[in-house]
């Protein structure tokens, strides 16, 4: 006896797989691979004024900068508060230091 697979079952399976593939990829990256540090000389980093240490910002070039602004308090920072480094939504595929800064800094909302 031949069983038929309905179009509904195929679509449902595709949606489930589509949800789980990114999740598995994130778990694999978190478990094993070390994300490379962002090089301050990287063209994207240079364009956004990225620095490794927020206390070394040129105030005349960045008049809106505040010394309390750092990657660790930015909404784009993906690390935990205790992490020395973490991922960044702006510089995908790279990690940034907790004390770094760039022109895209936005205060992380309080949870």
The domain ranges of the chain are 7-97
Domain 7-97: CATH superfamily, name plus number = High potential iron-sulphur protein (4.10.490.10)
Rounded to the nearest 5 percent, the helix, strand and coil shares of the chain are: 30, 10, 55
What string of DSSP letters covers 55-96?
GG--TTT-TT--TT--GGGBTTB-S-TT-SEEEBSSSTT-EE
pLDDT of residue 39: 95
pLDDT of residue 107: 94
Q: Is 55 left (phi over 0), alpha (psi -120 to 50) or beta?
A: alpha
Are 86 and 80 contacting, i.e. CB atoms less than 8 angstroms apart?
yes
Q: What percent of the chain has pLDDT over 90?
A: 50
User: What is the token pair recorded at 57?
Assistant: 């910002």
Low pLDDT (below 50) residues in the chain: 31-32
Mean pLDDT (the chain) is 84
Tell me which DSSP letter residue 52 carries.
S
């Amino acid at each position: 006896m031949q069983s038929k697979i309905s179009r509904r079952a195929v679509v449902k399976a595709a949606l489930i797989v589509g949800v789980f593939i990114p999740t598995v990829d994130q778990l694999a990256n978190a478990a094993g691979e070390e994300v490379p540090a962002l090089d301050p000389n990287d063209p994207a980093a240079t364009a956004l004024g990225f620095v490794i240490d927020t206390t070394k910002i040129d105030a005349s070039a960045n008049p809106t900068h505040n010394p309390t602004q750092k990657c660790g308090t930015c909404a784009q920072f993906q690390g935990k508060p205790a992490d020395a480094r973490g991922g960044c939504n702006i510089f995908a595929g790279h990690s940034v230091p907790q004390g770094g800064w760039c022109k895209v800094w936005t205060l992380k909302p309080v949870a």
